[in-house]
A and B are shown apart, each in its own frame.
Chain A
Amino acid sequence: MDIMQIVALGIITAILSTILKEYRPEFALKLSIVAGLVIFISLLGRFNQILEVLKGYAVKAKIDILYFSTILKVIGIAYITEFGAQICRDAGEGSIASKIEFAGKVLIMAIAVPIYAALFDIILKIMP
């Protein structure tokens, strides 16, 4: 199974990283970045399949495509933000990591504005 490969990859990377950390900490950091990238890229195909299925059901249920693409965007921003923040935290730059997370939160809020707007419109319509 794929999970075995990924776990083995993680363990091997962790071992190599601990060996390298003693002598060259900067290479250990790049090693962990590459491990994250490789794992993510190997999961892309599966994720695409799931997305296709979800998209099919969203079309069947006649959900506005705007909402679905907004959710996708939020997931994408959250993933990228988390990735960058974790790398910064691994490098020992916790303050930069928290700023990246803050930026991600603000951008997610900005992207979700149409959904808030729709919700508030509904609430205003219901209110007498």
Chain B
Amino acid sequence: MDVNLIFKIAAIGIVIAVLNNVLIRSGREEMAMMTTLTGIVVVLMMVISLISRLFDTVRTMFQL
């Protein structure tokens, strides 16, 4: 089981939220926006590989 991925995503989310707050407080809204976007892309990459694995296994298992 790749449970680590869940913790990774949660950690990335918390870190990004904190960074976002700090950057907005220091008056850098555009940097905050960029960090949020980067975090979303990184997490999306992890999730997409897992989703494709799920689809492949379902396709082979149910002979779809």
Asked if A76 and B43 make an inter-chain contact with CB atoms under 8 angstroms apart, the answer reads: no
How many interface contacts (CB-CB < 8 Å) are there between A and B? Answer: 94
Chain B residues 31-64 with CB under 8 Å of chain A are 36, 39-40, 43-44, 46-47, 50-51, 53-55, 57-59, 61-64
A16 within 8 A of B: yes
Which one of B6, B44, B64 contacts A16 once the chains associate, using CB atoms below 8 Å? B6
**Tally of contact residues, A, Cβ under 8 A:** 35
How many residues of B sit at the interface, in one of the four size bands? 20 to 34
Q: Known contacts A24-B13, A28-B13; is A34 also within 8 Å of B50 by CB? A: yes
- Pairwise interchain contact A34-B63, C-beta atoms closer than 8 A: no
Cβ-defined contact, A40 with B12, below 8 A: no
Q: How far is the CA of A79 from the CA of B43 in the complex (A)?
A: 24
Q: How far is the CA of A92 from the CA of B19 in the complex (A)?
A: 26
Q: Which residues of A have CB within 8 Å of B43?
A: 27, 30
